[in-house]
């Protein structure tokens, strides 16, 4: 295996970004948006597609390699990056069993999103700029997952944040889009402070920032707790957990394929990947593991209840993403690292499918996003309906879909592993039931019943073209069958994810906490399967007649009102954080800046001006006056000398 090939995985989308970005400056104004989208889209898709081919080949080589004398990985060093005395940073890339999976998700799902975007953006005159940012987004994420040191990972971490700002605010002419992009950018920067603190503490305790040399065994339990907590704060920003989760639903302001890329393949999975790299440190602190699990559980339950009440098709999926990320963090919190990676993979399949399907619906309905104004789209969008139905079944965890295997393995891990517990299991089981409710509500209100939109011929919905439907079918196949790659041992299949995480644990010289299934442990799977199937079927009937739960069950009215207002979290943040900062800034601007600083500067300037005015009489330009002053000064000097 040639280690320099790792650089090509990053450089290909970077070159695609540069080429499409350059094209945007030379395109003719009279050229049709469709031609621009096709040309730039094909260049960008080819770049990320080639990166996927290389990633797939490297993945195949790694999967065929067994441990003999030590862990297997590819490593490539460019040289020294920065040096501050004894502290030296090198630019290095590393590919192993964990980030090879991440590379496949980023490049593979990213490639399908690029293809879908060709059809979705064929009306936009800024398509070249869009594809340039999309390629750059994937480049930053690849740097994040392939970086061999925390400073390089942080470079990709920040790059992803900047690209998300550019893409969420892509239609920057609208104030709503500007505000959403700024909100995402600021909240992610707050979390990034935790990343920096974590790096400082890690270097102080270990003297190294290369994760290949990371060993939790050299840390005390207290140090492991604070280092892990600092990095977890960073993850709450990037992967949208309490308290920094409020940016993700607003990120829906960008083009829908961007939402698919952020929510499924790239940005939000960065926090999960970071904690997978820190598993050796996390396992040293049971208190930290409990904090991670419960913060994630509360986030997951809370966002699932909000998703049930939303009417914007993209907002439903956005809160669904927050909830599913909570499942992944719970898996990490109970020590099921391989299961977390497994759910990252399956979630990428069905969530990218659902977001792209939502994009197809919005495209067909001429920009409409309210599901209450849809209905009956099954007749107009048969391909979109079929594929989104598969995605919803996988999201709900209906048996034998990809979401079923990963979600149920998380629930089983909560029971089977020592870091879990019954109360945590009950919370996540309720959340799984809510997942089935909002999944079936999305499908029912959007595709079934009678069409509630405009009925004139020009505004009737229409099915999307092949650029958009082909990626939907590919993702539908993955959402339906992709879970079998991580099927548990009770199906007598090799659990690839447990094996790969096991190899990474051998790198850290730590015991594996993978879950081993047997027939007696079928009960959690059976319970969640019954809940998923029964809830999906029952609420399909309910939502054929009612659009909200409080119309069917009056007792839920208060809950629906509270959840639909998103528990007033944004309003509370605005009241206790944003408004005080704004008022303090306003006070400082008016009092300190204007009345103190400005007036002090003005007063000093005025004093100099007045003194200069008085001294101006000494510069009359008359030689006799200058001669008299010289004589007087000489007399003063002589008198001083004499005295």
On the question of pLDDT at 212 being above 60, the answer is yes
By mean pLDDT, which of 264-273, 300-309, 497-506, 558-567 is the weakest?
A: 497-506
If pLDDT is split at 50, 70 and 90, which confidence band does 512 have?
A: very low
Higher pLDDT, 504 or 158: 158
Residue in this structure with the two tokens 């003999």, named with its chain if needed:
68
Higher pLDDT, 217 or 317: 317
pLDDT value at position 317? 92
If pLDDT is split at 50, 70 and 90, which confidence band does 450 have?
A: confident
On the question of pLDDT at 155 being above 70, the answer is yes
By mean pLDDT, which of 281-295, 485-499, 516-530 is the weakest?
A: 485-499
Q: How far apart are CA 112 and CA 359, in angstroms?
A: 13
pTM recorded for the entire structure: 0.86
pLDDT value at position 154? 92
Mean pLDDT of 102-128: 89
Higher pLDDT, 171 or 505: 171
pLDDT value at position 617? 72
On the question of pLDDT at 301 being above 90, the answer is yes
pLDDT value at position 491? 47
Q: How far apart are CA 242 and CA 327, in angstroms?
A: 13
Mean pLDDT of 329-341: 89
Indicate the SS3 state at residue 92: strand
Cβ-contact 441, 305 below 8 angstroms: no
Mean pLDDT of 549-560: 74
Give the percent of the chain with pLDDT over 90.
27
By mean pLDDT, which of 73-82, 519-528, 533-542, 551-560 is the weakest?
A: 519-528
Indicate the SS3 state at residue 74: strand
pLDDT value at position 231? 94
Sign of CA dihedral 14, 19, 23, 25: positive
pLDDT value at position 72? 62
On the question of pLDDT at 76 being above 90, the answer is no
Q: In 354-373, which positions are buried (b, 16+ CB within 10 angstroms) versus exposed (e)?
A: bbbbbbbbbbbbeebbebee
638: how many CB neighbours lie within 10 A of its CB?
10
Summarised one tens digit per residue, pLDDT across range 13-64 is 999 999 998 888 877 777 788 888 888 889 999 999 999 999 988 888 877 7
Could you tell me the end-to-end alpha-carbon distance of the chain, in angstroms, rounded to an integer?
A: 93
pLDDT value at position 521? 58
pLDDT value at position 365? 85
Residue in this structure with the two tokens 């999103």, named with its chain if needed:
113
Partner residues linked to 90 by β-bridges: 80
Summarised one tens digit per residue, pLDDT across range 492-507 is 444 555 555 555 444 3
Higher pLDDT, 488 or 111: 111
Indicate the SS3 state at residue 87: strand
Higher pLDDT, 125 or 361: 361
Upstream peptide bond of 243 is cis (omega within 30 degrees of 0): yes
If pLDDT is split at 50, 70 and 90, which confidence band does 69 have?
A: very low
Cβ-contact 296, 271 below 8 angstroms: no
Mean pLDDT of 61-68: 66
If pLDDT is split at 50, 70 and 90, which confidence band does 514 have?
A: very low
Higher pLDDT, 520 or 92: 92
Higher pLDDT, 6 or 29: 6
Q: In 167-200, which positions are buried (b, 16+ CB within 10 angstroms) versus exposed (e)?
A: bbbbbeeeeebeebbebbbebbeebbebbebbbe
φ, ψ dihedrals at 498, nearest 5° = -60, -40
Tokens of 419: 């870091």
On the question of pLDDT at 394 being above 70, the answer is yes
580: how many CB neighbours lie within 10 A of its CB?
11
Indicate the SS3 state at residue 622: coil
pLDDT value at position 643? 76
Q: How far apart are CA 128 and CA 196, in angstroms?
A: 34
Element (H, E) at 277: helix 270-277
Q: For the chain, what's the residue count?
A: 643
Mean pLDDT of 346-362: 91
Mean pLDDT of 162-168: 90
Mean pLDDT of 60-86: 69
pLDDT value at position 302? 93
pLDDT value at position 506? 41
By mean pLDDT, which of 114-128, 226-240, 284-298, 588-602 is the weakest?
A: 588-602
On the question of pLDDT at 546 being above 90, the answer is no
Q: Where are the domains of the chain?
A: 1-148, 325-549, 577-642
pLDDT value at position 540? 85
Mean pLDDT of 321-347: 90
pLDDT value at position 420? 80
């Amino acid at each position: 295996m040639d280690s320099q090939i790792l650089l090509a995985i990053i450089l290909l989308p970077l070159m695609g970004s540069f080429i499409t970005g350059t094209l945007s400056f030379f395109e003719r104004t009279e050229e049709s948006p469709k031609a621009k989208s096709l040309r730039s889209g094909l260049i960008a898709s080819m770049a990320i597609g080639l990166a996927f081919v290389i990633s797939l080949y490297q993945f195949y080589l790694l999967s065929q390699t067994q441990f003999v004398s030590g862990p297997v990985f590819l490593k490539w060093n460019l040289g020294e990056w920065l040096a501050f005395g004894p502290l030296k940073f090198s630019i290095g890339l590393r590919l192993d069993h964990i980030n090879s999976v991440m590379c496949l998700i980023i490049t593979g799902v990213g490639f399908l999103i690029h293809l879908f975007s060709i059809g979705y953006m064929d009306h936009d005159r800024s398509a070249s700029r869009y594809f340039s940012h999309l390629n750059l987004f994937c480049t930053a994420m690849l740097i994040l997952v392939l970086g061999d040191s925390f400073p390089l990972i942080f470079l990709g971490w920040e790059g992803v944040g900047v690209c998300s700002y550019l893409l969420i605010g892509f239609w920057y002419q609208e104030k709503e889009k500007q505000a959403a992009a700024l909100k995402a950018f600021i909240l992610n920067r707050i979390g990034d402070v935790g990343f920096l603190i974590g790096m400082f503490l890690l270097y102080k305790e270990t003297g190294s920032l290369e994760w290949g040399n990371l060993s939790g065994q050299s840390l005390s339990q207290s140090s492991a707790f604070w280092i892990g907590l600092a990095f977890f704060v960073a993850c709450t920003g990037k992967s949208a957990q309490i308290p920094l989760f409020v940016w993700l639903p607003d990120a829906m302001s960008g083009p829908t394929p961007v939402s698919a890329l952020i929510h499924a393949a790239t940005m939000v999975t960065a926090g999960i990947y970071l904690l997978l790299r820190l598993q050796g440190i996390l396992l040293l602190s049971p208190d930290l593991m409990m904090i991670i699990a419960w913060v994630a559980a509360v986030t997951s339950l809370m966002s699932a209840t909000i998703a049930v009440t939303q009417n914007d098709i993209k907002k439903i999926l956005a809160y669904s993403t927050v909830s599913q990320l909570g499942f992944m963090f719970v898996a990490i919190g109970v020590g099921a690292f391989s299961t977390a990676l497994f759910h990252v993979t399956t979630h990428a399949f069905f969530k990218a499918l659902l977001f792209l399907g939502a994009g197809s619906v919005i495209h067909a309905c001429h920009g409409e996003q309210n599901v209450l104004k849809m209905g009956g789209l099954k007749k107009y969008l048969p391909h979109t309906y079929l594929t989104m139905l598969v995605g919803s079944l996988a999201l709900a965890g209906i048996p034998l879909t990809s979401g079923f295997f990963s979600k149920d393995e998380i629930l089983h891990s909560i029971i089977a592993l020592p870091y879990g517990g019954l109360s945590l299991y009950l919370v996540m089981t309720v959340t799984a039931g809510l997942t089935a409710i909002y999944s079936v509500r999305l499908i029912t209100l959007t595709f079934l019943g009678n069409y509630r939109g405009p009925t004139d011929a020009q505004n009737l919905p229409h099915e999307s073209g092949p650029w958009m439907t082909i990626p939907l079918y590919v993702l539908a196949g993955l959402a339906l069958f992709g879970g079998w790659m991580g099927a548990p041992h009770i199906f007598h299949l090799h659990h690839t994810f447990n094996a790969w995480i096991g190899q990474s644990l051998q790198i850290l010289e730590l015991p594996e906490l993978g879950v081993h299934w047997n027939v007696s442990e079928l009960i959690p799977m059976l319970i969640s399967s019954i809940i998923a199937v029964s809830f999906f079927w029952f609420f399909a009937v309910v939502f054929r007649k009612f659009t909200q739960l409080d119309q069917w069950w009056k007792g839920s009215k208060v809950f629906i009102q509270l959840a639909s207002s998103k528990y007033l979290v944004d309003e509370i943040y605005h009241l206790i954080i944003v408004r005080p900062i704004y008022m303090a800034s306003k006070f400082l601007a008016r009092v300190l800046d204007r009345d103190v600083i400005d007036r002090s500067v003005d007063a000093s300037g005025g004093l100099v001006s007045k003194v200069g005015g008085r001294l101006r009489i000494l510069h009359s330009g008359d030689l006799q006056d200058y001669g008299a002053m010289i004589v007087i000064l000489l007399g003063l000097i002589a008198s001083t000398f004499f005295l």
